[in-house]
Structure 1
């Protein structure tokens, strides 16, 4: 039996090694030796505490990931072979293999069904990891709302008696497509924490001192969620361009504040009188057109009571709408996204006091609110500040070897005994 298991591991290791260049394997070996040394294991294995500290994984998420990486042996020992096999499957595998690895990591009971309570506990860990703070009561409340909103986007199967069973693998994959920032986070667990680690990036929100943060619709948790569908260079700073209760609920004022800003992309957020919060990411400026315009980078999203993102399906190119001072009924004045004229995925009329949100094939989205006819209570627009070339260069530089990517963080390297192995 022992020889059979050893042969199986050897076969998997040989196969996994082919996913990497020799340089990458050397990097992984150096990483393993450094971590094993700090584990006081005579360079034979990495202990869970050292694994947890280096990869920044706490609580149940760290325990489950370590269990998966060590192939569920329950011996508290990660070997070099374990590391290579896990990295090959988790980072170099097919989409199906990676999704299956993540799903099994979250499936605490190992019964092929992910329960709502399990998913909820992992989401709490993720939020605490991303925002890395000893939460105040207010922040804890925001986190709870965000967790509930993310769960509301998930589908859980029912038993014959109507009770909730859990989330199947197929439903998990569908949910991941709606919450890309969660998928990015769960897909980067074997990278040490850093400001450019996928799923960790939260845009810095810029707004005037005279604007109270309590009045803002865009919370940092919402920005993190929306940012999951954006490239890294659009996740540095977002600047408040327009707020209806600050600048006045006026279409012309909106256009005045969002034009000629030097920022082409923006995030439009609406809270309606039903209490629903939703909006859209516009990749192009809000400019006067008599027809749909824009590109496939734009998307719609929900924030509360459900958090989900809906990207273009390719069904049509009716992406973005901005019409003003037209007199034809076939060219409704206002701003919007998707669908078709008078049946938009999201639309706010030029009066800025009414609009609509219908099920939309452009983005594969449902009605974003409780009803298809909406009355905006608050409207916000945030401009996306593009990262500078210097920031892009820094991000690209972080894509080097395992050791090179993180040698700037001297404290972390010293913590795991690696500082002496990195080059200055």
Structure 2
């Protein structure tokens, strides 16, 4: 396990195993930190630990997470939110190490992406925001049960830690996927706003989850600060994820469930959402108050020109003006469409950088349109052509088809 997990995580697992009382099938609350090293872990303790972490219920896993959150302290009947956050930071770091070392990056390149260590802290804090401690600020076993039940990632990450770290194969269970495929991304020229923990947080919120590839269709780094170029990049791309960074360092964005259309009406549906990455990782879904999900307009005299999500004209939850450098996030106190607070550092912000990722299944070419690289089977496979000729088949289309145009110079 030490090759995949930080030392602190290995100690947490070892301490948890040593604290298991085979008679009670859970770590005992009276166990002392230093009492384990001499005796080591028994076969029964290991079996119980594997059974509960890999196939256990929330009720069976809660005492284990309690024990692992108390690493380096005397065992107690409750833990603080900060202790749980420290455990989650170790757990998320381990999972990312597993993804990297096992070659499951799916085309992502962490060295060309955002600060992963900051992303780990933000994801741990986001998961902890689902904790419901007592009035005194402590979490007992029942509150951890509720936490595990509601935040499914905890069980998934725990299973990965144990299965991969202790090399225990689970027959019939597929290897978990934490990252969607990344395609067609010019990494050499790019310093991406995303990091792995942020993708691990956002991907499960999308309709296609991990199945559809993410494709970068616009970046200010690559394409410059041009509203027209951005509109061209996101048109006819299906669902997209917009990511903005303002000059105050806030990172935020929105998910558009439909392909964007330039028109003076709202579009989209309730699958759209807004989100923040910095200073906090959060998703804000549709409230049902109105249907102002997406708006994109250009070159109109009577209607606002720009890109907006949520709220209303002049008071969008997220707005980027068509002069591109300026935008606003107005929420007093919350955006009516998504229930989001102000996402940017200032209500009226100045844009630092932006990325647009196509995150749905690539749309089919429209009828009558030649798809990119769409060719006859005779062009794709000359062997088929040769075999047909040898068999005496007449190639009726050969003289009728337009010759292949040369690729762009």
Pairwise TM-score range, normalised by the shorter structure: 0.5 to 0.7
Q: 1:313 to 1:191 in 2, by over 3 A?
A: farther
> More relative contact order in 1 or in 2 (CA 8 Å, sep 6+)?
1
CA deviations on 1:136-166 (whole Å, 9 max, x unpaired) are 9969993321123235545599999xxx956
Contact 2:15 2:67 in 1 (8 A): yes
Contact 1:59 1:125 in 2 (8 A): no
Contact 1:326 1:333 in 2 (8 A): yes
Could you tell me which residue of structure 2 aligns to residue 77 of structure 1?
44
Q: 1:369-380 counterparts in 2 under 5 A? A: 369-380=344-355
CA deviations on 1:241-287 (whole Å, 9 max, x unpaired) are 000132121221111112234xx111100011001111111111111
Could you tell me which residue of structure 1 aligns to residue 358 of structure 2?
383
Structure 1 residue matching 2:319: 3-state secondary structure: strand
Residue 149 (1) aligns with residue 122 (2)? yes
- Residues in 1 aligned to 2:13 and 2:362: alpha-carbon distance in whole angstroms: 32
The alpha-carbon deviation at position 373 of structure 1 amounts to: 1.7
Q: 1:230 to 1:385 in 2, by over 3 A?
A: closer
Structure 1 unpaired stretches of 5+: 1-48, 389-424
CA deviations on 1:72-109 (whole Å, 9 max, x unpaired) are 2686526989988888862xx7xxx6996786466534
TM-score, normalisation: structure 1: 0.60
CA deviations on 1:176-230 (whole Å, 9 max, x unpaired) are 97xx6845635856995699655x411233344475233x212333222211313
Q: 1:196 to 1:326 in 2, by over 3 A?
A: farther
CA deviations on 1:292-346 (whole Å, 9 max, x unpaired) are 2212222222222322222223333322222223322xx4222222222222221
The alpha-carbon deviation at position 352 of structure 1 amounts to: 1.3
Q: 1:354 to 1:318 in 2, by over 3 A?
A: same
Structure 2 unpaired stretches of 5+: 29-40, 103-108, 364-409
Which of 105, 111, 127 is the matching residue for 2:93? 127
CA deviations on 1:24-83 (whole Å, 9 max, x unpaired) are xxxxxxxxxxxxxxxxxxxxxxxxx9xxx9xxxx63564587678932268652698998
RMSD: 4.6
Which of 156, 159, 181 is the matching residue for 1:204? 181
Which one has the largest radius of gyration?
A: 2
Which of 310, 332, 356 is the matching residue for 2:328? 356
Q: 1:84 to 1:213 in 2, by over 3 A?
A: same
Contact 1:236 1:385 in 2 (8 A): yes
Contact 1:267 1:382 in 2 (8 A): yes
Which of 222, 231, 236 is the matching residue for 1:260? 236
Q: 1:141-220 counterparts in 2 under 5 A? A: 142-153=115-126, 154=128, 182-183=153-154, 185-186=156-157, 192=163, 200-209=177-186, 211-214=188-191, 216-220=192-196
The alpha-carbon deviation at position 116 of structure 1 amounts to: 1.5
